[in-house]
Copies of this chain bind each other. A is one copy, B any other.
Amino acid sequence: MKIVGGPGSTELARKISVLLNAPLVAAKMKHFPDGEFYFRLEEKVSGEDILVVQSLYPPQDSRVIELFLMLHTIRDLKASEVKVFIPYLAYSRQDERYLDGECLSSGMIAKMLEHLGIDALYTIDIHNEKVLKMYTVPAYNLTASEELAKYFAAKDLVDPFVISPDDEKIAIERARNAARTLHADYDFLKKMRDRYTGEITTYPKKFNVKGRDAIIIDDIISTGKTAANATRILKEQGARRVFIGASHALLLGEAAKILKDSGVEEIVGTDSVVNEYAKVSVAPILVKALQDSGKIIS
C-alpha cells in the first residue's frame, strides 16, 4: 500500500506512512492565483493499492474539491484498490429530511466518493453514524475517545470524571470509552438545538464533581457554546478543573475565547484538524483499524 496525503492532512499522512511502513507517493499540489487546485502525481500508481488521507475541516468545500480531484487522478491513472481516510467527514449532519425539500448533503458526498471509485472509507467520530448507511462500500467509523483519554491520563488528574455534553447514544458511548481508559466514572448532559435558529440549550443536572477534575469528551467543537455551557455547569458544582477532549476541534471564530472565559483549563484536539490544539494523533487509530480489517479478511 502507498499513501497520498492531501493538503488538509500532509503531516497526518506522514505519520500513518511511518506507522504502516508504507511509502508516501510524491505529489505536487498548489493553488493557482485564482484559487483553483493543481494536483500532480509524480510517481506511477498504476496497479498499486492507495490510501488517500484528507480531512475535511474548514474551508471544507476546498478540502472536498481537493479530495475529489486527488481521487479522480488516482483512479484515472489506474490505481488498484483505493481506500480513503477522512478523519473529519464534513457535511455529515443529516441522514434524513427534517423539512420537505431539504438537501441531504451527506448523500451527495457519498454518491460522489463512490462514483470516484473508493473501495472503503474510514472516518473518526462522525457526527451522525447513520450517514455511513449512505455508502455501499465498507464505511468505518472509528473513535478517538481512548486516544484522547490517554492524553489526559498523563496529567495527574484528581479523581477524574468524564462527561458527554450531549445525550445521543453515540456521544455517551464516547464518554464511556474515555472513562474506561481513565478508570473514571461518566455521565452526560442533555442539550437541545432549535431546528430553525440553531440556538443550543443545555439542561442543568446535578453531578458528583466537587473537587474532582472533569473531562468533557465531544466529537466536534464548533462555536464552543455547548462545551462552554457544560463547563459552566461543572464549575458551578465545584469541579476542580475542566478539560475538553474533542475529536475535531474546529474552534470557529471566538470559540477558543468563549471556552477559556467559561473556565476551561485546556482544550485538546486531534490532528484531524490542523491547529494549535492538535495534541493527539488519529494515525494509530486508523492503523489499528487497517490491521484489524486485514485480520478479518485473511
Query: A interface vs B, CB < 8 Å?
Result: 27, 32-44, 58-62, 64-66, 68-70, 72-73, 76-77, 90-91, 93, 99, 101-105, 107-108, 111-112, 115-116, 198, 222-223, 250, 252-253
Contact = CB atoms under 8 A, between A and B. Distances in A.
B33 A223 contact: yes
Name, among A68, A77, A115, the residue most crowded by chain B CB atoms within 10 Å (CB to CB): A68
Contacts of A32: 198
A56 B40 CA distance: 23
20 contacts: A32-B198, A33-B253, A34-B252, A35-B58, A37-B105, A38-B103, A38-B105, A40-B99, A59-B59, A59-B61, A59-B62, A64-B65, A72-B104, A72-B108, A73-B101, A73-B103, A76-B103, A76-B104, A77-B101, A112-B112
Given A36-B60, A61-B35, A69 B252 contact: no
Given A38-B103, A61-B61, A72-B105, 5 more contacts: A33-B252, A36-B105, A59-B59, A70-B103, A111-B116
A60 B59 CA distance: 12
Nearest to A73: B103
B60 A34 contact: yes
A281 B101 CA distance: 30
B65 A102 contact: no
Nearest to A63: B61
Contact of A64 (B60, B61, B70, B252): B61
Name, among A32, A40, A103, the residue most crowded by chain B CB atoms within 10 Å (CB to CB): A103
